[in-house]
Amino acid sequence: MSAKADTAPSILPRHVAIVMDGNGRWAKRMFMNRAAGHRAGAQALRNLSEQMNRAGYAMLTVYAFSTENWKRSDEEVAALMGLLREYIQSYINDSKKNNIRICTIGDLSRLDDDLRKKIAYLGELTKNHDGLRLNIAINYGGRDELLRAVKRVCRDAADEKLNPELLTEDAFTGYLDTAALPDPDLWIRTGGDMRLSNFLLWQSAYAELVFSDKLWPDYTIKDLSAAVESFHSRERRFGGRKE
């Protein structure tokens, strides 16, 4: 049996979205500090994305740093930003070793210049890769994204580039951070909590939701495969009814 057959169902959802929750609780359980938990979580993402790429998944979007995470202690925010720099650099260093395309969503304007440049450079390095597309949400919040989109709509309307009366859902989607992406089919949250936490609010209107008790650093491709099996067991009607 092939490695692909061992690690993934034969039919995969086109777009998987994950709230990677539980790093701090994992660290506490392991008698480590929160920074160590975030580092373990970053490595878990690296492992999972590489396995998803080998298994043939097309797209993964993960919640790495939310607009609300700035409320955490200065020490924790600094540790998260340092870890983000480190892993972005490691993805740059390894960009030729795999076929993963790495992109970001969110408002990057609040990040330091050097970090924004690294992110842009990584995107340029991997833009032609045709394996898994990994979208990392950084300084992202669903409400913030919608508000920024509405502001762009208002500017276009004021400049007479858009007739608001003709604005459709499809057209509005073009103003979002995920404008060129399909909506997520499968939306997963680890860590046991059952809430959306402001992640992909517009895009997840008809996503299938799966909540896992696993803390993120312990989440594996086998857990993802179980979520995909649950996804396939459901009837997706998108508001309609199958006769």
Report the catalytic residues: 21, 69
Q: Tell me if 54 sits within 8 A of 4, measured CB to CB.
A: yes
Q: Which two tokens stand for residue 174?
A: 């073009």
DSSP state letter for 46: H
**Residue ranges with strand state E in the chain:** 15-19, 59-66, 101-105, 133-140, 186-189, 208-211
DSSP state letter for 218: G
Spatial separation of the C-alpha atoms in residues 154 and 218, rounded to whole Å: 44
Q: Tell me if 118 sits within 8 A of 88, measured CB to CB.
A: yes
Q: Tell me if 227 sits within 8 A of 188, measured CB to CB.
A: yes
- If we measure between CA atoms, which residue out of 132, 20, 124 comes closest to residue 80? 20
Q: Which two tokens stand for residue 6?
A: 């061992």
Per-residue CA distances from 205 to 118, 196, 224, 241 (Å): 33, 11, 21, 17
